[in-house]
Amino acid sequence: MAMMKNVQVPTAFRWRGSVIPKVLLTSISITLLSVAVVLCYKKTEFKPSIPFSFITVLGFIVGLLLTYRTNTAYDRYWEGRRIWSTMVVSIRALARNIWVNMQLDSKKDIIEKKSAINLVLGFAIATKYYLRGKDGNSEDCKDLKHLISNITSQLPGWDQLEASTSREKKREEKSEKKPWFGARLFNKVFNRHHHHEEEKEIKNHNIPLELLFYLTSFFNDQPEDILDNPSRSICYTSMNSLTDCLTQFERILRTPIPKAYSIHLAQTVFIYCVTLPFQLVSFVDYWTIPIVFISCIVLLGVEGIGEEIENPFGLDDNDLDLDQFCIVLEKEINTITAHAIPNLEPTEEE
């Protein structure tokens, strides 16, 4: 049994994380169309076919569009990962300065330092939920609540969070009602980007930014004998970096690839796949059916990959694993704050 668990499934045969489940329905539908075209061509006098040169012309255009789409989406994915790493650097520096450089040694003072560090860690977790369109007040944000439960929001909109959460639940319940097959297929091809409009609804509550306000107040209240000016400057620099990272995250989130381009690409790929059996049937007969199916899987799959990684902050299998990033960061900080500050002064015995 242990050996079976260590067996790695070849990448080509993996299902989880693959884009095939998302494009399989459309691919099967177009393949059924190719079956009808082949049977009509072979069994009747009607010969539904178009010139083979159409593949060359339209295929070149589809290739260019898909290349640009995939490269642009991957650039956004990689930039999101790079910005997250920059944010982690600033969080580590800020937590280190609070824990080591602040001259607070009593038990009450240590609790105060840990509370401040919790807000720093809470910034990363709150940013994760903020990028996913969650307000941080919902039931699935338990890893954030215990870090910021000791503060109360003073910004407008806190009292509206419960109402907004209720509206989101109603929207999710409404979306669970599946339309008939034809409507699902049409929406998948021609209206697949419509759901992004609802995701763009900008909420009036930004918990990560508010946590930075609290931290700024905390540092401003510390006298110089507790937090010296060089350490204070490092803290402010780190918070400025966190603000910059949050703004860059918002730029990726709020500035998707132009809708006209995405829609036109989806329609072009769909038209190419639909016309493919009409171009192949006179050359390869029944081989048209598997060729069309494989072509649809490949072309629609490449387009689906670009659409999936365009927003790297979601919950898809190929998105950035923000949950794991936050868990690792929390373990690091908890390990550091679980121990006293190292004392490098020589002991009396030395």
| Nearest one of 308, 287, 347, 279 to 49, comparing CA atoms | 279
93 φ/ψ angles, rounded to the nearest 5 degrees: -65, -40
- At a CB cut-off of 8 Å and minimum separation 6, what does 105 contact? none
What's the pLDDT score for residue 164? Answer: 44
Q: Is residue 6 part of a domain?
A: no
33 φ/ψ angles, rounded to the nearest 5 degrees: -65, -40
What's the pLDDT score for residue 160? Answer: 44
What's the pLDDT score for residue 191? Answer: 53
Q: Is residue 145 part of a domain?
A: yes
| Nearest one of 328, 307, 308, 334 to 319, comparing CA atoms | 308
Q: Is residue 129 part of a domain?
A: yes
The token pair that represents 316 in the structure block: 């898809």
Q: Is residue 136 part of a domain?
A: yes
**Three-state DSSP state, 252:** helix
What's the pLDDT score for residue 194? Answer: 47
| Nearest one of 203, 212, 201 to 87, comparing CA atoms | 212
- Alpha helices, DSSP H, located in the chain: 2-6, 20-43, 53-96, 107-131, 142-148, 161-175, 181-190, 195-199, 207-220, 229-254, 259-284, 288-309, 322-337
Q: Is residue 185 part of a domain?
A: no
The token pair that represents 104 in the structure block: 């607070």
Q: Are 113 and 104 in contact (CB under 8 A)?
A: yes
Q: Give first-to-last CA distance, the chain, whole Å.
A: 56
100 φ/ψ angles, rounded to the nearest 5 degrees: -100, -45
What is the number of other CB atoms lying within 10 angstroms of the CB of residue 223?
8
Q: Is residue 165 part of a domain?
A: yes
What's the pLDDT score for residue 338? Answer: 83
| Nearest one of 185, 217, 227, 180 to 22, comparing CA atoms | 185
- Identify the sign of the CA torsion 324, 13, 185, 56: positive
DSSP 8-state symbol, 11: G
Q: Is residue 319 part of a domain?
A: no
What's the pLDDT score for residue 303? Answer: 93
Q: Is residue 116 part of a domain?
A: yes
What is this structure's pTM? 0.78
- What are the per-10-residue average pLDDT scores of the chain (350 residues)? 54 78 93 94 82 82 91 95 97 92 77 89 93 74 76 48 45 47 45 46 72 91 86 92 96 91 92 92 90 94 92 91 94 86 59
Domain count, the chain: 1
Domain, as residue range, for 129: 83-171+204-256+324-339
